[in-house]
Structure 1
Amino acid sequence: MSSELHNPASTDNIKSAEDSWRLNYVTGNLFSCPEDEALAHCISEDIRMGAGIAVMFKKRFGGVPELKEQKKQTGQYAVLTRDDRFVYYLITKKKASQKPTYDSLRQSLEDMKSHCLENGVTKISMPRIGCGLDQLKWTRVAEILEQVFKHTDISITVYSLPEKAETKVMNENRRR
């Protein structure tokens, strides 16, 4: 055995993939993230993108016909390449009017992870996926993210908008 393995100085720069994975939180606009980071969000198989942050993704990146051509199903991801970055569309439900399951979210994240590993993606920015209009619980979603990505060197930054008092009151009074 080499003496280097026992020299603490030589192991300082060695990180296991489990140590490299990170889940970071930022308050701010998702679209202000560094341009070298991939983006991800959830959509339905019908690619409607008519509500929530999906509307902003549709306006900013277009590509609806390109996404439809990929013929992806629930539990998979579709992807666009824009300005040297990947924009991932996690397909978590069949129709826009439905709700995703934690299982469909996990499957689509696993599918996206494979693409990330094959293409050298190490940074992904996303909103609190599945937790807006789709009403999944963030604590469960964060656990799934950790389970899916913990043995990779992919770090994920989750963006949340600052909550305004009026928005909070409106959300509390909203009927669905």
Structure 2
Amino acid sequence: MKAINYLKGDATNPQAEGNKIIVHICNDIGGWGKGFVMAISKRWKKPESEYREWFQSGENFNLGEIQIVKVEDDTWVCNMIGQHKIISNSKGIPPIRYEAVEKCLEKVSIEALKINASIHMPRIGCGLAGGKWEEIESIITKTLLKDDVEVYVYDFN
């Protein structure tokens, strides 16, 4: 089985040849304005506008769903709904929803195999969503790596 490739750098500037899908986690309330999405919006306008349209349409806009947006000839951005709201609830439960992230990555895996793409991401779910990387890493192993998809995780310098 493949292992995660850890790199220093910017996940919006993938370090690989061929088709690439940049994945990141979005919330289920249509909010786009903090965290990694800002780096995406700086480079490309389409992922944000498509996400907002998707939210407005209400069509299949649920935890565990994905939206893949082509931003360059060989690069796509995948908006994954893996976060419930944007702040911890009254019981202190963070917004990350691991089961939704797993559903998203299972879908991403299928799409990546169709177009022979590698997957690129920051440490998803560990910033504003309040998740733990060990949990996310095990989900990546159970989904993408199990399907033999090449995975790159970027730590910003």
2:113 to 114, 117, 124: 117
**Structure 1 unmatched ranges of 5 or more:** 1-17, 163-176
* Structure 1 runs (4+) greater than 4 angstroms displaced: none
Partner of 2:96: 100
Partner of 2:11: 30
DSSP 3-state at the match of 1:30: coil
Partner of 1:150: 145
Pairwise CA distance, 1:97? 3.8
Partner of 1:168: none
Partner of 1:7: none
User: Cα–Cα, structure 1 residues 113 and 101, in superposed 2: closer, same or farther, change >3 Å?
Assistant: same
Distance 1:137 1:94 in 2: 15
DSSP 3-state at the match of 1:22: coil
Distance 1:38 1:132 in 2: 20
Partner of 2:76: 86
| Cα distance per residue 1:39-98 (max 9 Å; x no partner) | 111111333221111112123221233234443321111111011211111111243346
How many residue pairs match? The answer is 142
Partner of 1:174: none
Distance 2:134 2:83 in 1: 20
Distance 1:38 1:53 in 2: 15
DSSP 3-state at the match of 1:32: coil
Name which one, 1 or 2, has greater alpha-carbon Rg: 1
Q: Which has the higher helix share?
A: 1
Distance 2:53 2:37 in 1: 18
2:51 to 58, 63, 67: 67
Alignment RMSD (CA, Å): 1.9
Distance 2:153 2:138 in 1: 13
1:53 to 36, 46, 65: 36
TM-score normalised over the length of structure 1: 0.72
**Structure 2 unmatched ranges of 5 or more:** 89-94
Distance 1:126 1:22 in 2: 14
Distance 2:127 2:64 in 1: 19
TM-score normalised over the length of structure 2: 0.79
Give % identity.
24
DSSP 3-state at the match of 1:55: helix
